[in-house]
Chain A
Amino acid sequence: DIQMTQSPSTLAASVGDRVTISCRASQYSSSWVAWYQQKPGKAPTLLIYKASTLQSGVPSRFSGSGSGTEFSLTISSLQPEDFATYYCQQYNSYPWTFGQGTKVEIK
């Protein structure tokens, strides 16, 4: 199985900050990485797929980059509704696997 390792596990930031979350795959994953946002008690929602493609309806302040084994999610200017937990996921090979999550908290 491909292991996805996210960093940091927790991130404290202020509204307006630029935030970057990293994700490292234990094996080559091409560009088949997605990023999700999850709020308490809710299902995850897709933000980015194929490493850098913005899902329809997602604000442009979210962006993704990377390929191979190194990936990142950036929020250019953090908004109040962005405080949540973020997950990366590889879908290059089965079984699909997720990172352990990054909780973005209010500083």
Chain B
Amino acid sequence: QVQLQQRGAGLLKPSETLSLTCDVFGESFSAYYWSWFRQTPGKGLEWIGETDHRGTAKYSPSLKSRLTISVDPAKNQFSLKLTSVTAADTAVYYCARTTTLVAANFWGQGTLVTVSS
């Protein structure tokens, strides 16, 4: 059974870089896409972006200028970096396994990231 375990800092100051990593257990990394989502009370669930095992990434247009999603297949992990964060980036961030057939069928546990001075 696939498991996704997230890690990363939960408290940031404005202008800092958000950095999260998702470790994937029990799954062939190359067979799927690997995605990031976030959730806020105000905007609800939001797709951030995805990568495949080769590092070919797709990004949300609204975040693209600040966003990097990278992958390390040898370590079975993928990562999210979002630069120049503001309070508007405060959210619960989720990693997930996705496919073009079933959307997101396995999710990480979620990480609350708070941006505050």
- Chain A residues in the interface with B (C-beta under 8 A): 1, 32, 34, 36, 42-46, 49-50, 53, 55, 87, 89, 91, 94-101
B110, CB-defined interface residue at 8 Å: yes
Are the CB atoms of B45 and A87 closer together than 8 Å?
A: yes
CB-contact partner of A94 in B58, B102, B105, under 8 A: B58
B26, CB-defined interface residue at 8 Å: no
> Bound complex: CA of A46 vs CA of B94, how far in Å?
14
Are the CB atoms of B45 and A98 closer together than 8 Å?
A: yes
> Bound complex: CA of A36 vs CA of B110, how far in Å?
15
B47, CB-defined interface residue at 8 Å: yes
Are the CB atoms of A96 and B47 closer together than 8 Å?
A: yes
The number of chain B residues with a CB under 8 A from chain A is 20
Total A-B Cβ pairs within 8 A: 55
- Chain B residues in the interface with A (C-beta under 8 A): 44-47, 58, 60-62, 94, 96, 100-105, 107-110
With A94-B58, A95-B60 in contact, is A44–B44 under 8 Å at CB? Answer: no
Are the CB atoms of B44 and A46 closer together than 8 Å?
A: no
Please give, as numbers and ranges, the residues of chain A lying within 8 Å of B47 by CB-CB distance.
94-98
CB-contact partner of B104 in A44, A50, A95, under 8 A: A44
> Bound complex: CA of A96 vs CA of B62, how far in Å?
12
Are the CB atoms of B103 and A43 closer together than 8 Å?
A: no
Are the CB atoms of A49 and B102 closer together than 8 Å?
A: yes
With A43-B109, A94-B58, A95-B60 in contact, is A100–B44 under 8 Å at CB? Answer: yes
Query: Lowest 7 A-B CB distances belong to which pairs?
Result: A43-B107, A34-B103, A96-B47, A98-B45, A49-B102, A46-B105, A95-B60
